[in-house]
Amino acid sequence: MKIAKIFVIATALASLFFPTFAYAESCSTNAICPTSIEFLEKSQNTEILTEASIDDAKISADVKMLELGDYIKYKLILENVSGDTYTLSEVSFDDAKAIDYSLMFANDETEIKPGEKKEATLTIEYKKHVEDSEYVDNTYVSNLNALLVLAKNESTPNPSTSADLPMIFVIVFAAIILACYVYYRKYGHIRPAVIAILFVSAFVSFGVYAAESCTIEIESKITIPKYEGREINNIIMEKPIIDDEHSTYMEPVTGVNFLEPSSNANGKGVYIFAPTKNDDIPIYYYRGAVDNNNLIFADFCWKIFRTTKTEGLKIIYNGVPTNGQCIAEGDDTMIASGVKYNAAVNNLSYFGYSYASNGHTFKYMSNSKITNGMIFANDVSYVDGHYVLNDDQYVKDDNFAADRDSILKTHHYTCFKANGTECETVRYVYMTRSVNMFYVTLKDGEKIEDVVRNEVTNEANTNKSIVRGVVDDWYRDNMTAYTDELEDTVWCNDRSLYGVGGWGKDNDVLEITNEQDGKMIFNANYRVFTTGKPDINCANKNDAFTVSEENGNGDLEYPVGLMTLDEAVMAGFNWYRYDNSSDNYLNNGKGWWLMSPSLVSANNVYVGVAYSRVDHVTPVFTSNGLGGVRPMVSLKKGYKVSSGDGTSSNPFVLGKDGY
């Protein structure tokens, strides 16, 4: 009898101190009942191991996820079987760790009224990084229990998880029993009135809780395998999007608009390059404001850019790790700053990553120096060591300014004299601007088409550019030990031409503001700034820089190069929106050299540069301007991740033993 009294009192006390634990065990006694659960959608990496189910107000789910951001969504139907209105409590799911739960009623409502059935979306997401210590045999498995709490009259109880409460209750219940026992041993009795009061308190406590809130238990088994052992390419290719279709972060129905910078409406994520989507090996690339493409290789930080046709992986330099993180900014993301692409701007050779030593130098002459007129011809012949002007025209000095441009539309050759049509060296006028004529000097029988063919479209690569020298020296000093892990892919210095402008003997030489007339325009410039159709191919073998001649020109000492104009635009840079600075994974707040020739203007050679200050690339940067250097290498197919999730704070880690 005494023991019974103690037990009753303890039970009553427990209900007084812990009323929130008295939740319903079956839907028949719960105010809110889950009546059905149905799969809605999931991320590509998420695998359903067991279909979700409901049993006596308990929801069960068993899924496998791979990386941060993976999720699964269910449609849940809840029914209010009580006579009261309940509100979704803010304390629901506050016990989540790596896995985050969220529930939302349709139309952003939060209440469920008496007798009402309401549709809700239950989301389970891998949201917080799993620490290495939590993996067992390279796999994280957790049975996560959470409580969906609905409160009457906007009451917000604060229950712990269903896993925590029983243990707490047992401890406290034992303490109450012990206290009652000590009381009984000391006084020898417990008054019946006390027992009655505790009984009443227990019933009132339970009743108050049942009226004020109800809970629905969610029992989830989540499996997350560690990245270790997975090929880096497989990680990248898990969730690709075709870049010529409308999708998340893509407002245009036709896909990426490469004439505009990347943004949340014009590309963010991993994409399949549409021109390759039907190839046996499509090209995958990162675009926009992503932070899951960081890796450490050879003790340097890199940003993953794209795959190659041989299933390699092009990566671009991004500094030195700090405490295992890749968080460098500005100049620290480059191997050098303030570097010239080449020594000068007034020579046809100086847009080459390597170039010929005998390029033609640009010069100009003012109208004011012409006093007796000048003879111009559409073509020349070379006879006995002398040039002869063919189809010549004479321009008088008194109307030279008026006649010059109209005659020079198709008459470019001149001996720079008013009398006679023969000369040992001949000048070719390729452009006019204001009062000046810009020309190159030809000798030994050269004609302008020979110059364009030999120096521009099929130039010998005998001399290193300044920027290539910087890249090669850095690689020699830091990367030679890793050469076997890198593929000999193509680094394209595309010198193919869209238009020769005034460098064609039948073409207009006049440079018109904001027009391309008179300029020599390279294909890379035209593709990315006019058509918005970047290309990853290299038109001429001579421009395809490689170590071996098997797939390129064989002119490189080391398998390293620079990004191209086309690639920078794929990544999300473009020059048409100077006023629109967007967040891009390549943005380092600086300007850095690209590998693509862009145009030849009056007396300047221009090469592409990525200006990270406003996320654009531009052709308007002379070859002797000052820019930063960010080399690229290409990992061989099959390289594996040893740790990390690709974020800047936890980059993928690769090493020589990871292949």
498 and 581 in a single domain? The answer is yes
pLDDT in tens, 369-384: 777 788 999 999 999 9
Instruction: Please give the sequence-ordered ranges of beta strands (E in DSSP) within 167-299, or none if there are none.
Output: 213-225, 241-242, 269-272, 284-287, 294-297
pTM over cut 0.85: no
**Average pLDDT score over residue span 508-520:** 69
pLDDT band for position 169 (50/70/90)?
Answer: very low
- Confidence band (pLDDT; 50, 70, 90) for 143? confident
Say yes or no to pLDDT of 153 above 50.
yes
Asked if 490 and 631 sit in the same domain, the reply is: yes
Q: Are residues 539 and 435 in the same domain?
A: no
**pLDDT, greater one: 67 or 462:** 462
Looking at the fold, whether 122 and 24 belong to one and the same domain comes out as yes
Owner of token pair 């001399």: 463
Domain end, chosen from 433, 457, 481, is at 457
Distance CA 497, CA 521 (A): 6
Question: Domain boundary at 457, 474, 502, which?
Answer: 457
pLDDT band at 303 (very low <50, low <70, confident <90, very high): very high
With bands split at pLDDT 50, 70 and 90, how would you rate the model's confidence at 619? low
Beta bridge partners of 375: 394
Last residue of a domain, one of 409, 441, 457: 457
Mean pLDDT of 474-482: 97
C-alpha–C-alpha distance, residues 255 and 239, integer Å:
16
Are 471 and 597 in the same domain?
yes
Residue 308 sits in the same domain as residue 424: no
- Report yes or no: 250 and 288 within 8 Å, Cβ to Cβ: no
Domain count across the chain: 3
Element (H, E) at 96: none
Q: Is residue 106 domain-shared with residue 137, that is, in the same domain?
A: yes
pLDDT at 21 over 60: no
Which residue range(s) make up the domain with 451?
363-457
Same domain, 540 and 652: yes
Q: Are 162 and 147 in contact (CB under 8 A)?
A: yes
Cα distance between residue 619 and residue 494, in whole Å: 14
pLDDT in tens, 416-462: 888 889 999 999 999 988 888 899 999 999 999 999 988 887 777 88
For the ranges 180-194, 203-217, 557-571, the one whose mean pLDDT is highest: 557-571
Residue with tokens 């590509």: 44
Same domain, 452 and 478: no
CA 143 to each of CA 91, 412, 463: distance values in angstroms, whole numbers, following the listed order: 20, 81, 64
Tell me: do 99 and 182 sit in the same domain: yes
Q: Mind listing the pLDDT tens digit for each residue in 267-297?
A: 999 999 999 999 999 999 999 999 999 999 9
Dist CA 367 CA 510 (whole Å): 15
Q: For residue 530, what is the DSSP state?
A: I
Strand partners, 306: 285, 314
CA atoms within a 13 Å half-sphere pointing along the CA-CB vector of 532: 15
Nearest to 81 by CA among 180, 177, 204, 214: 214
Q: Say which amino acid occupies 639.
A: Y
- Regarding whether 437 and 377 lie in a shared domain, the answer is yes
Three-state secondary structure call for residue 596: strand
Sequence-distant (≥ 6) Cβ neighbours of residue 618 within 8 angstroms? 575, 608, 609, 611
Contact 594, 609 (CB under 8 A): yes
Within this chain, do residues 117 and 261 fall inside the same structural domain, yes or no?
no
* 471's tokens: 């890249």
- The pLDDT assigned to 235 comes to 82
Residue 182's pLDDT band, with cuts at 50, 70 and 90, is low
Longest dimension (CA), the chain: 138
